[in-house]
Amino acid sequence: MIPEIGHFALIMALVVSVVLTVLPLLGATFSNERWVALAKPAARMQLLFMLLAYGCLTYAFITFDFSVRYVASTSHSSLPLLYRISGVWGAHEGSLLLWALILSLWMGAVTVFSRSIPRVMLARVLGVMGFVAVGFLLFLLVTSNPFERLIPAPADGRSLNPLLQDPGLAIHPPMLYMGYVGFSVAFAFAVAAMLGGKLDAAWTRWVRPWTNIAWMFLTLGIALGSWWAYYELGWGGWWFWDPVENASLMPWLVGTALIHSLAVSEKRGAFKAWTVLLAVFAFSLSLLGTFLVRSGVLTSVHAFASDPGRGLFILLFLATVVGLSLTLYAFRADRFKSDVSFQLFSRETGLLLNNVILVVMTATVLLGTLYPLVLDALGVGKLSVGPPYFNSVMVPLGIPLVIVMGLGVLLRWKRDSISRLGTDLALLVIIAVGVGLLFSLLLHYDWEGYDWEGMAAIGLIMAVWIAVTTLFWVWKQKRTASVWGAALAHAGMAIMIIGISLTSLYSSEKDIRLSAGQQYQLAGYDFQFQGVKKVSDVSYDAYQGIVDISRNGQPVSHLEPQKRVYRVQTMPMTEAGIDAGLFRDLFVALGEPLEGDAWSLRVYHKPFIRWIWLGAILMAVGGILAAGDRRYRLKVEGRSHA
Amino acid sequence: MTPVRKKRLWLILALVLGVGVSAALVLQAFNQNMMFYYSPKDIKAGQAPANHDFRVGGLVVAGTVKRDPSSLDVHFDVTDLTETVTVKYTGILPDLFREGQGIIARGRLLPDGVVEAAEVLAKHDENYMPPEVADSLPHKPAEEAQ
């Protein structure tokens, strides 16, 4: 009964979304007050139905209702409560339902924080989001209904993929989706501005907090995914340029560009048409990411062919959204022409360069991700583009980006001159180069004895450059929340650059063969293998290795990496043993049993890897801080009295 | 030309130049890092490049996985059920590497016809068949009933 209620609620949500799309948008065009007024209650009602539908599916999961096909294929009677709740988004259907629910949550949030927004504008924003909801709900109901019954019900389910039975991955998809779908708000505002033909500073102040919050979630979601891949897959890497990762990186890059372009639109009234275009692209790339991950084209072009409905549907929907918004853009962009001018040497130019570089980066990732798929779909050939492509392109693009990043915050709006900046600039450059070099030499001579690498020095100089320019900027500024937010985000980038440079250059990793009692030295640490014992848990049996790590005779750590076999799926899984530290991680993963009591082991020494995720957390905090700036709220109070 | 326009022209020229340079850079890197996929049949037919990385895939032939007793060297045969090539690798094989399983290896062709793999991939799903491998088999494995 409960699943049928869920199914019914989903259908009702679709009906309400259609109403939400059609009436307010028409009402806004033909000045029909009553239709315009429908937007807010309709959006809230849609949210209620979505909550009901989602609640029903969760209920089916918690109560082990294996007569629901989706529950039977992703759950099992042995799963603990946490993974029954997160199991809801453990596979295709439920994950789309989560996507749609999050869209409704964002709509609900817009209705709550909309007091300052004119009613017509609000009607258009919610109407556009309603349109997106129609697309996704149709997709759910037509091709991927999570409430479909399986009669007769099996005695037990096929269980959740063991990879997903992990707290880190349990919250990764909701975070990522909050980010992806969050860009729909900026997108809806952009389309609403195009429909209304007007885009002013007030508009940018409505959009900026939403964009920041979406960006914050996306940043955290990507970082969580990277952290999870690091400790769970047993590969010890933090980024693989896997198409699924790229699918999340592209909206992040464009979203970052959007945040900066919005700043110019708010402060200077320039770049307006460009801002609108970026908002359209950020959301389109989020949809593309959903398409890539959810259609199955990535794991297999055959999955696409065997169920053409799903892939084709998202592709058509993507084409509709992009096509309609670009057509609208073609007709309306000229209305956003900005009449303000700026000099070549100004903050506007800095932010322009920021945008150009970020967009070029996005394009290179897009090329490397889509080209193999297109060739394969056309039957021309099967090829893949490896990490060296992405690395060799992103590093040379990243360096100018960082230089502009530091320079941009120093520059004044509209016009600036070298002579004004002269001594300060020279001083900052000297500090950055000096301190960066000093650090790289310290790493070499004094501390860890890493080889001196030019790229490490460049990475450190870049990081210090961002840090000192940001500090200088904060010092010279009136320190509002948005200044602190931007400063924190930039500092986060500096920390992330340190992490990326030093991890990439100084990691040592080795696959070795050890018998019980043998030891191996890596990066000054002695890894003593004490053998393997068998252990068991609720859902798996495991071999557990014991590795004692010491340095110069002093014990450092004791690790117990596992090789698990999950009983339900009989699927092996590597659970690495990690000794985490601010300056280095020690990482041991069990390979396979060899003759006698020998095992193959994978040992890593990963310097500064934590800094990558630490930087991401700082960026996210910066994003939320900036979104809370008083000037976005002051407007609210001012308007509501008017 | 007014000074403002002149500056704007410079800005645009610089941007075009920058984007052009990066496009060239990108395409060059792209060309160097494209890896094609070959089935064992293609390799036996001499289609695989001699001095460039490529990917090969197939089913691991039962009974051919041989480990060196003193190191992590391992070699095994992969087949597309038409031809068979030997792959050698040093290191730890993925969790789901098994005889009979579809795998993909990335590496180079040695003069003796053996593929020296730098990486061996088996996807994290016991039902998963790499699409390239499925495609190069003469008859399709039964599709999972969904």
For range A430-444, the mean pLDDT: 94
Would you call B32 and A389 a contact, using CB atoms and an 8 Å cutoff? yes
CATH number, position B69: 2.40.50.140
For range A414-427, the mean pLDDT: 87
* Closest chain A residue to the Cα of B24, Cα to Cα: A393
* Closest chain B residue to the Cα of A301, Cα to Cα: B131
Tokens found for residue B24: 């060239």
Tokens found for residue A186: 């900026």
CB within 8 Å of chain B, chain A residues 547-566: 563
- B18 and B73 share a domain? no
The answer to whether residue B99 is domain-embedded is: yes
Closest CA to A411 of A457, A347, A456: A347
The answer to whether residue B146 is domain-embedded is: no
End-to-end CA gap in chain B:
68
The answer to whether residue B29 is domain-embedded is: yes
Comparing CB atoms, the residue among A356, A383, A601 nearest residue B34 is A383
In sequence order, what are the residues at sequence separation of 6 or more whose Cβ sits closer than 8 angstroms to the Cβ of residue A11?
Answer: A141
C-alpha A109/C-alpha A97 separation (Å) is: 18
- B25 and B62 share a domain? no
Tokens found for residue A167: 């707290």
- B21 and B46 share a domain? no
Q: Would the pLDDT of A251 be above 80?
A: yes
Number of C-beta neighbours around residue A104 at 10 A: 28
C-alpha B43/C-alpha B50 separation (Å) is: 10
Q: Which residues of A touch B29 (CB under 8 A)?
A: 388-389, 392-393
pLDDT (tens digit, 9 = 90+) per residue, A115-133?
A: 889 999 999 999 999 999 9
| Average pLDDT over chain A, rounded to an integer | 90
* Closest chain A residue to the Cα of B91, Cα to Cα: A511
* Closest chain A residue to the Cα of B7, Cα to Cα: A344
Task: Give residue A197's region: left, alpha or beta (phi > 0; psi -120 to 50).
Answer: left
Q: Interhelix angle for A167-196 vs A243-268, to 10°?
A: 40
> DSSP per residue over A97-122, as a string?
HHHHHHHHHHHHHHHHT-TTS-HHHH
Q: Which residues of A touch B71 (CB under 8 A)?
A: 513
For range A411-416, the mean pLDDT: 88
pLDDT (tens digit, 9 = 90+) per residue, A254-270?
A: 999 999 999 999 999 88
Comparing CB atoms, the residue among B91, B106, B135 nearest residue A511 is B91
- What pLDDT score does A350 carry? 92
Q: Which residues of A touch B36 (CB under 8 A)?
A: 381-383
The DSSP bridge pattern shows strands B115-121 and B84-90 to be parallel
Q: Which of A128-132, A160-164, A631-635 has the highest mean pLDDT?
A: A128-132
* Closest chain A residue to the Cα of B29, Cα to Cα: A389
* Residue B5 lies in domain: 1-34
Are the C-beta atoms of A520 and A510 separated by less than 8 Å?
A: yes
Query: How much is the pTM?
Result: 0.92
Three-class DSSP category at A235 = coil
C-alpha A357/C-alpha A301 separation (Å) is: 32
- B22 and B51 share a domain? no
> DSSP per residue over A171-200, as a string?
HHHHHHHHHHHHHHHHHHHHHHHHHHT---
pLDDT (tens digit, 9 = 90+) per residue, A59-75?
A: 999 999 999 999 998 89
Number of C-beta neighbours around residue B82 at 10 A: 13
Would you call A360 and B19 a contact, using CB atoms and an 8 Å cutoff? yes
- What pLDDT score does A538 carry? 82
Instruction: Domain count for chain B, please give it.
Output: 2
The answer to whether residue B73 is domain-embedded is: yes
- B129 and B83 share a domain? yes
The answer to whether residue B144 is domain-embedded is: no
In sequence order, what are the residues at sequence separation of 6 or more whose Cβ sits closer than 8 angstroms to the Cβ of residue A240?
Answer: A229, A387
A234 — pLDDT class (breaks 50, 70, 90): low
The answer to whether residue B83 is domain-embedded is: yes
Closest CA to A596 of A539, A516, A537: A516
- B48 and B61 share a domain? yes
C-alpha A296/C-alpha A11 separation (Å) is: 25
- What pLDDT score does A302 carry? 38
Comparing CB atoms, the residue among A349, A360, A388 nearest residue B11 is A349
Q: Which residues of B touch A352 (CB under 8 A)?
A: 11, 15
Three-class DSSP category at A68 = strand
| Exposed / middle / buried, residue A116 (Cβ in 10 Å: 0-12, 13-18, 19+) | buried
Chain B closest CA to A298's CA: distance in Å? 10
- B20 and B43 share a domain? no
For range A473-487, the mean pLDDT: 92
- B66 and B86 share a domain? yes
A518 CB near a chain B CB, below 8 Å? no
Closest CA to A159 of A590, A575, A538: A538
A389 CB near a chain B CB, below 8 Å? yes
Q: Which residues of A touch B15 (CB under 8 A)?
A: 352, 356
B132 against B61, higher pLDDT? B61
Comparing CB atoms, the residue among A381, A385, A572 nearest residue B95 is A572
Chain A closest CA to B113's CA: distance in Å? 21
Are the C-beta atoms of A578 and A586 separated by less than 8 Å?
A: yes
In sequence order, what are the residues at sequence separation of 6 or more whose Cβ sits closer than 8 angstroms to the Cβ of residue A200?
Answer: A269
Q: Would the pLDDT of A448 be above 50?
A: yes
- B95 and B131 share a domain? yes
Q: Which residues of B touch A513 (CB under 8 A)?
A: 70-72
Q: Which residues of A touch B12 (CB under 8 A)?
A: none
Q: Would the pLDDT of B93 be above 50?
A: yes
Q: Choose from A164, A393, A395, A568 for mutation: most chain B CBs within 10 A.
A: A393
Three-class DSSP category at A158 = coil
Would you call B7 and A344 a contact, using CB atoms and an 8 Å cutoff? yes
Tokens found for residue B52: 């460039």
A314 — pLDDT class (breaks 50, 70, 90): confident
Number of C-beta neighbours around residue A139 at 10 A: 21
- B16 and B48 share a domain? no
C-alpha A107/C-alpha A425 separation (Å) is: 45
Three-state SS string over A530-593 comes to EEEEEEECCCEEEEEEEEEEEECCEEEEEECCEEEEECCCCEEEEECEEECCCCEEEEEEEEEE
In sequence order, what are the residues at sequence separation of 6 or more whose Cβ sits closer than 8 angstroms to the Cβ of residue A20?
Answer: A38, A39, A42, A43, A46, A126, A127, A130, A133
Backbone angles phi, psi at A554, to 5 degrees: -90, 130
Q: Would the pLDDT of A642 be above 70?
A: no
Would you call B126 and A571 a contact, using CB atoms and an 8 Å cutoff? yes
The DSSP bridge pattern shows strands B34-38 and B54-60 to be parallel
